[in-house]
Structure 1
Amino acid sequence: MSKEWLAHRIKAEEEGRRIGSVLQFCLGFSRRRLQVLTRTDGFRLNGKRAHLDRRVKEGDLLEVCVHQEEEGNLAPVAMDLKVLYEDADLLILDKPPGIEVHPPEQRARFRPTLAHGVAHYFAEKGIKARVRPLHRLDKDTTGICVFAKNAYAHQTLDRQLRDGTLQRGYLALLRGLPADPVGIIDEPIGRDPEHHMRRMVRDDGERAITRYRVVEVFEPPCRETEGRAGGTAELEPSLEPPLALAEVVLETGRTHQIRVHFSHRGTPLLGDRLYGGDSPRIGRQALHSAWVTLRQPRSGEAVKVTSDLPEDMACLIVGNEESHGGNNGTIAKAPETE
């Protein structure tokens, strides 16, 4: 069974430390992962097997197994996948609407998910690995979805997600204008006792932080009404609220966080039936995962991936711009990474 190794040259400041300490505190391996590495001969010092208690010297070569062939954990299902980025550790896809990222732990009937499509992609490419999605997107949310190809990459990216090194940016069309064009929503989220799927802002919920800025505002077109006594048609203000295109960055990742926070503020996502934004103009919540920035798990190099707006959201924006003779706003972009 083939293995892939990460090579680490011991630095002067690491001299005298035990191998286990270097693996855990310098390379970021969890205690649980250290146990797996010990059972599977998953590390070596200067080309030889060693014990976790062995002390290292400057210039020593510590090699760690970051991946070995493993059996898949999902049935492969052929589907068209749009790959935005791929390397030895990462697979980043552009998720369409109408499909779940991965199956819930319990499911009465089998239903293909994006993860089943990744399992098929791995099988076609000869990649012997489990499917490890880093995060979840709601079924009808589109855009960037990150998968790790091995346990080391998944653990590293999960740590980046928790410490803020990995950032995710979304684009949302709001039904109405937020009170402030730039702001932070810091409101705890928990389950709605009156609806099994819905979440709500509640004092005993988990802390949830959402940062946003309004990128473009679209006033609704005027309504055309019949003129008096057969006269020419007249225009009246629309009864519809304006739309706001907002760039949203999550500092936490609660279920339905963006949808709950904006609904709580009185500006639900356009098309979001569950949270009060139902609209005939779009058949889903207008939410798109537009960019992600992270560090490559092995090299530490900055990786930035972006995804274009899907057709249904783009058409809404173009339609609003055309109805007002154009708009000089710009679509939000991922920040530059250092």
Structure 2
Amino acid sequence: MEDVSKEWLTHRVTEEEDGRRIESIIKHTLGFSRRRVQVLTRSNGFTLNGKKAHLDRRVKTGDLLRVCVHQEEESNLAPVEMDLVILYEDDDLLVLDKPPGIEVHPPEQKARFRPTLAHGVAHYFEQQGLKARVRPLHRLDKDTTGVVVFAKSAFAHQALDRQLRKDSLQRGYQAILIDEPAEAVGSIRAPIGRDPDHPMRRMVCDDGEEAVTHYRVRQTLPNRLCLVEVQLETGRTHQIRVHFSHLGIPLVGDRMYGGHSPLIERQALHSAWVSFQQPRTGEIVKVTAELPEDMRRLLEP
């Protein structure tokens, strides 16, 4: 009998899959990693026609394979009540609109406790009766706003992380620059590495990691401030901020990279949208977040 504390993904074996091993179906058809398959094996996390089976068992057309996609687990963070702006939610994912001034997830080393968005998610899961660890798919800088994706299970996190690495998960940003770029549409290709003189900063350097940023100018103001839409081909730390600073047109308000301004108290950077395949159904989901008020004020004539 299947464990009611688990959620299951059901797969009916097709004619093309007849004769394949269970392990092959779980890995290559359903997309589970080798490590996740090992966890499933130890936890009785799959059944064939309602019964336990070995990974090397060969399936037949019409067989019913059920695989655990979520199992109750203890939270990895203390719950902290906070107001969350939920943009999208389903059985696998929670997508939030992050405000400025809060970190997505606590760093490994912290001198003192400070609540993060992840602590708020832990509280939300607790209130929903969901026993799960908090798994952010990606991070935003403390003062960057907008779309952040959290997975509700290891299965969902692994599925979206694979999409992120294969570029099938797309993210778009909006940034306000202190001046116009030389070209209205362009790409910045410049490797990024650590700044040896500042542990928190990054810089363009020959021995850095490949970094590619695509942008398009959307609005230019009389004071020369410029709104750009940005899409990342790579995802390096501070990539957008570093690349535009490298061009000599840093983001407005970005004290770390030369854009200090009295007009805004943070870097004018917003995670505007994300597009991905829903882990179980494969349906394309696009989630957007409106430009925050402090950035909208910069664009007023």
Residue equivalent to 2:202: 199
Count of aligned positions:
298
Residue equivalent to 2:235: 253
Deviation of the 1:84 alpha carbon: 0.6
Local SS of the residue matching 2:285: strand
Alignment of 1:14 with 2:25, yes or no, is: no
Residue equivalent to 1:61: 64
TM (norm. structure 2) is: 0.97
2-side partners of 1:245 and 1:296: how far apart? 31
1-side partners of 2:237 and 2:18: how far apart? 44
Q: Deviations over 1:269-310 (max 9, x none)?
A: 000000000000000000000111111111111111111110
Q: What 5-or-longer segments of structure 2 have no aligned partner? A: none
Backbone CA RMSD of aligned residues: 0.9
2-side partners of 1:302 and 1:2: how far apart? 28
2:121 paired residue among 112, 118, 123: 118
Local SS of the residue matching 2:69: strand
Local SS of the residue matching 1:196: strand
1-side partners of 2:253 and 2:19: how far apart? 60
Q: Deviations over 1:69-102 (max 9, x none)?
A: 1100000011111111111001000000000000
Residue type at the aligned position of 1:202: C
Q: Deviations over 1:122-155 (max 9, x none)?
A: 1111111000000000000000010000000000
Bigger-Rg structure (1/2): 1
2-side partners of 1:139 and 1:48: how far apart? 48
TM (norm. structure 1) is: 0.87
Residue type at the aligned position of 2:21: R
Deviation of the 1:219 alpha carbon: 2.1
1:305 paired residue among 276, 279, 287: 287
2-side partners of 1:96 and 1:89: how far apart? 23
Local SS of the residue matching 1:103: coil
Alignment of 1:285 with 2:267, yes or no, is: yes
Residue equivalent to 1:315: 297
1-side partners of 2:245 and 2:62: how far apart? 56
Structure 1 vs Structure 2: percent identity of aligned residues?
Answer: 72
Deviation of the 1:64 alpha carbon: 0.3
Local SS of the residue matching 1:261: helix
Residue type at the aligned position of 1:89: D
2:172 paired residue among 169, 173, 176: 169
Large movers: runs of 4+ above 6 Å: none
Q: Deviations over 1:104-125 (max 9, x none)?
A: 0111111110000000111111
Q: Deviations over 1:220-250 (max 9, x none)?
A: 1xxxxxxxxxxxxxxxxxxxxx111000011
Local SS of the residue matching 1:58: coil
1-side partners of 2:162 and 2:18: how far apart? 25
Residue type at the aligned position of 1:256: H
Local SS of the residue matching 1:289: strand
2-side partners of 1:280 and 1:29: how far apart? 49
Q: Deviations over 1:296-326 (max 9, x none)?
A: 11111111111111010011112xx3xxxxx
Residue equivalent to 1:276: 258
2-side partners of 1:193 and 1:218: how far apart? 36
Deviation of the 1:12 alpha carbon: 2.0
1-side partners of 2:272 and 2:252: how far apart? 17
2-side partners of 1:88 and 1:287: how far apart? 30
Residue equivalent to 1:86: 89
Residue equivalent to 1:225: none
